[in-house]
Amino acid sequence: MANYYPKKRRKIRYNNLAILLAILLLIILIIAKGCSAIFGNREPKEDEPAQPLTTQDLAQDELPIDQNMADPTSQRYYTFSSVTLTADDLGTGNLVLVNNNIAFKGQVTEDELDVVREKKNNAYSVKDYTVLVRPEVMEHLNTMLLDFYNATGSEGVMVNAGYRTLEYQQELYDEDLAQSGQDSSSLVAKPGFSEHHTGLAIDFTVYEDGKYDQSKIGTGDYAWINENCHKYGFINRYPLGKEKLTMIDNEPWHFRYVGVAHATVMKNYDYCLEEYIDFIKNFTIRKGFLQVDTDDGAIYMIYYVPMSADSDTTSVFIPVKDKDTKELYPYEISGNNVDGWIVTFQFKAPDSVPTVLPLTGDEAPVPDGEDASLEDGADNTNNSEE
Ligand SMILES: [Zn+2]
C-alpha cells in the first residue's frame, strides 16, 4: 500500500495537466492562424525551383482554389486537367518557329489543306489552284481581305503562294543557285527550312493595270494589310530592322498566321517571331500567365510548357472552366518546333462576333491573266522570295 496515492490528489494533478495542455493548444492555434494570414495568399515566386509539375501538384484538392481572387493570371485561380505530349508534337500548331537554322519538324499532307481558289471570297484573287493553306489561315485570310476591300475599295491583292512541298522548295532553291552562280541563296530558303512548308505562310502580290507587282504590298492602300493584319492573326514575318534575327531580308508581302492573341502581342511589343518565342518562355504555370486583351474584347491567357528533360512524355496542364462538368477553357496548344509548347486559352469570349458583309454581285476582282497562269505556272508572277 506504500504506492497508494489518495484519489483526491491524483484528480488535482490531472486537472493541472489539462489546463496546461489547453493553454498550450491555444497558443499553437493563435500562432498558426497568424502565419496563415501572412502566408496564405502568397503568390508563386519567380525564384522558386522550377520543379516539373505533377498531377498531384495540381490536383483539385491540393491547391487553395479561389475564383474570387482578382488575378486570373495566377495558377491559384484554376484547377487543371492535362494532356500528354511527346517530341513528335513539337512541330504541330500555329506557333512553330521555322527559319534558316530551324528545320520544320511537322508533317503536313495536302489533304488537310484548303485550296484557296475554292474557298476564297470575291475580295481578292489567287494565282491558281496550286495555292494551298491550312483551314485556319483560309478563314482569317477571307475576313482580312474582305475588310481590306471594304476599307479601301481596292481589288488588287492576289495570293501568290501558300504551302510548298520539299520538292518544290528544292526546285526554287536550285533555280536560284543556277541564276546567281552562288553556293547558297539569300533569297530562297533551303528545302526543309522554309515557312511555306507549314501551310501557315502566304505571299501576296498586287495585280494592277495588267501587271503583277509584289513591291506594292506595304505601300499606299496596301499598307492597310500590314497595319491591320494582327487583328486577323497574321504577322508580317520578315519586318524591316529584324533581318539579323529572321535571317531574311525585309519582305512586306510575306505573311504568317500565328493567331490573333499572339499577333497582337507581337504588334504591341514590336517583336518578330524569333523574339516572341523567347519572350513567351517567361510565362509559365508557376510564374503566371501572359494576359492578352484583343481588339474584339476577348481575353486570352498564354503560357509556356518546356519539354520534359528526363521523360519521353510531357504533361501539359490545361485550366478547367467548370469544376462540375470538367469543361475546359477553349484552348490551343502549339509546339515551338524546338523545345516546348505554348498554351493559349480563351479566358473571355469576344464581345460580339463581328458581322461580315459578303461581297455581292459578279465574281469581282479576277485578273485577266489568272486562269492563263494555270497553264503557265508561276511565269507571270514575281517569285523573288525566301
Ligand atoms: Zn513567302
Beta strands in the chain (DSSP E): 79-86, 114-115, 125-126, 132-133, 157-161, 201-208, 211-212, 234-238, 251-257, 290-293, 299-306, 313-322, 327-328, 331-335, 340-348
Q: Is the pLDDT of residue 19 over 90?
A: no
Q: Is the pLDDT of residue 54 over 50?
A: no
Q: Identify the residue whose cell numbers are 527559319.
A: 99
Domain ranges in the chain? 50-94+275-352, 96-257
Q: Count CB atoms within 10 A of the CB of residue 365.
A: 18
The 8-class DSSP code of residue 355 comes to P
Q: How far apart are CA 104 and CA 100, in angstroms?
A: 10
Quote the pLDDT of residue 187: 74
Residue in 244, 245, 160 with CA at minimum distance from that of residue 203: 160
Q: Is the pLDDT of residue 356 over 70?
A: no
Q: Helix count (H) and strand count (E) of the chain?
A: 10, 15
C-alpha 166 to ligand 1 mean position (Å): 14
246: CB partners within 8 A, 6+ apart = 99, 237, 238, 239, 272, 273, 274
Quote the pLDDT of residue 290: 97
Mean pLDDT of 197-211: 94
211: CB partners within 8 A, 6+ apart = none
Residues listed for the chain = 386
Question: What is the share, in percent, of the chain residues with pLDDT greater than 90?
Answer: 67
Q: How far apart are CA 170 and CA 177, in angstroms?
A: 11
Q: Is the pLDDT of residue 370 over 90?
A: no
| Residue-wise DSSP of 137-199 | HHHHHHHHHHHHHHHH----EEEEE----HHHHHHHHHHHHHHH--SS-SSSPPTT--GGGGT
Mean pLDDT of 224-237: 97
Question: What is the share, in percent, of the chain residues with pLDDT greater than 70?
Answer: 73
C-alpha 97 to ligand 1 mean position (Å): 14
187: CB partners within 8 A, 6+ apart = 176, 249, 384, 385, 386
Residue 251 bears catalytic tag: yes
Quote the pLDDT of residue 65: 52
Catalytic-role residue among 155, 251, 332, 385:
251
Q: Is the pLDDT of residue 42 over 90?
A: no
Residue in 278, 170, 293, 150 with CA at minimum distance from that of residue 221: 150
Q: Is the pLDDT of residue 128 over 70?
A: yes
The architecture in CATH of the region 50-94+275-352 reads 2-Layer Sandwich (3.30)
The architecture in CATH of the region 96-257 reads 2-Layer Sandwich (3.30)
C-alpha 179 to ligand 1 mean position (Å): 19
C-alpha cell read off for 161: 503562294
Average pLDDT, the chain: 82
Q: Name the band, by pLDDT with cuts 50, 70 and 90, for residue 12.
A: very low
C-alpha 194 to ligand 1 mean position (Å): 8
Q: Is the pLDDT of residue 174 over 60?
A: yes
C-alpha 86 to ligand 1 mean position (Å): 29
Whole-model pTM above 0.85? no
Quote the pLDDT of residue 182: 87
**pLDDT tens digits for range 258-276:** 999 999 999 999 999 999 9
Give the pairing type, strands 340-348 and 290-293: unpaired
Residue in 265, 273, 322, 271 with CA at minimum distance from that of residue 299: 265
Residue in 5, 95, 63 with CA at minimum distance from that of residue 305: 95
Q: Which residue has the higher pLDDT, 71 or 14?
A: 71
C-alpha 121 to ligand 1 mean position (Å): 22
Which of 6-20, 140-154, 178-192, 349-363 ranks highest by mean pLDDT? 140-154
Q: Name the band, by pLDDT with cuts 50, 70 and 90, for residue 139.
A: very high
C-alpha cell read off for 222: 496596301
Q: Is the pLDDT of residue 45 over 50?
A: no
Q: Is the pLDDT of residue 361 over 60?
A: no
C-alpha 160 to ligand 1 mean position (Å): 9
Mean pLDDT of 324-334: 96
C-alpha 147 to ligand 1 mean position (Å): 22
Q: Name the band, by pLDDT with cuts 50, 70 and 90, for residue 93.
A: very high
N-to-C CA span, the chain: 106
C-alpha 1 to ligand 1 mean position (Å): 104
Q: How far apart are CA 16 and CA 316, in angstroms?
A: 57
